Structures are given as C-alpha cells and as structure tokens.
C-alpha cells in the first residue's frame, strides 16, 4: 500500500485520533493489569479500536457515515488490506450490541472472552501503523506500544 499525502488527508486529525487511540489502549491495559472488571476493560478498548479506525480513515480522506465498526470497515476495506478474519471480528462488534437496530438494541455485559478478543483486535490493527508510509506520520511524542 502506498500512501500519498494530499489535501484530502487531515494529518492533524490523524495525529490526534492516533494519540487518542493509544491513550485509550494504554488505559485499557492499565485497567487489565489493575484487576478491573472485564466489561470495563472491554469498553475502553472498544473506544481505542474506534479511534484507530478513525485515524486510518483520516489518512485516506474518508468520512464514514457513522462511527460504528461496520461503517468504518466498509469505508476502509476498498483502500486498505486487512486480514479477512480481522474484518469479520471488527464488524462483529456492532452485532454484539445491536447498535444498528432500534428494535434490538442491547448493551450486554462483556465477559473475559470478549475483552481478550477486543484487545487482540487492537493489537492487530496497531500493526497497520507499522507500515513505513504510516509510521512516518505518527507523532514523535506519542508512545507506541506495538
């Protein structure tokens, strides 16, 4: 994947969204190691994953119609390569909550397996940021726990 920096790319927005993603991910790990409940770690990691995906959208000048996982992946899939299983896992998060359904909206209590899954998704998406074209844009003062 070759990334061209042009006027469509909001580098400032990318930097902020990337920093936010890292901060949420690091906080999720702190809470994990601090013995906090799985549902709390899950929810913080879910925000981290959303911010990582928004940062990737920023890089491609994309504006997802919604910030749910399915919409963001539908925007990113045509312009980036992701492992098929990762795409499926990320999109499944919307189905857990019934986010796109007025009739079936629910907010279950994520368990340890859900927490482990989303932390792994964050790690897998972080690998995209190691690509040379993207790594050059990562703010120098950002901690990158890849």
Find out whether 51 and 24 touch, Cβ atoms under 8 Å. yes
HEC secondary structure over 48-98: HHHHHHHHHHHHCCCCCCCCCHHHHHHHHCCCCCCCHHHHHHHHHHHHHHC
11-135, CATH topology level: 1.20.120
Find out whether 115 and 38 touch, Cβ atoms under 8 Å. yes
> For residue 97, what pLDDT is reported?
66
| Cβ-based neighbours of 73, under 8 Å, separated by 6 or more | 53, 82, 87, 90, 91
> For residue 80, what pLDDT is reported?
87
Looking at mean pLDDT, say which of 39-53, 67-81, 96-110 comes out highest: 39-53
Find out whether 9 and 60 touch, Cβ atoms under 8 Å. yes
Q: pLDDT digits over 77-116, tens only?
A: 998 889 999 999 999 998 776 655 556 555 668 899 999 9
Hey, where are the domains in the chain?
Answer: 11-135
């Amino acid at each position: 994947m070759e990334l061209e920096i042009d006027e469509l790319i909001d580098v400032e927005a990318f930097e902020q969204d990337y920093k936010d993603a890292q901060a949420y991910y690091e906080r999720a790990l702190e809470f994990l190691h601090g013995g906090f409940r799985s549902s709390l770690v899950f929810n913080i990691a879910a925000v981290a994953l959303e911010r990582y995906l928004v940062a990737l959208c920023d890089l491609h000048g994309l504006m997802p119609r919604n910030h749910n996982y399915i919409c963001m992946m539908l925007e990113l899939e045509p312009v980036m390569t992701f492992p098929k299983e990762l795409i499926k896992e990320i999109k499944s998060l919307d189905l857990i909550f019934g986010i796109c359904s007025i009739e079936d909206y629910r907010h279950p209590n994520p368990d340890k397996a859900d927490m482990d899954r989303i932390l792994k998704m964050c790690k897998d998406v972080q690998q995209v940021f190691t690509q040379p074209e993207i790594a050059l844009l990562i703010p120098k003062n950002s901690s990158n726990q890849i």
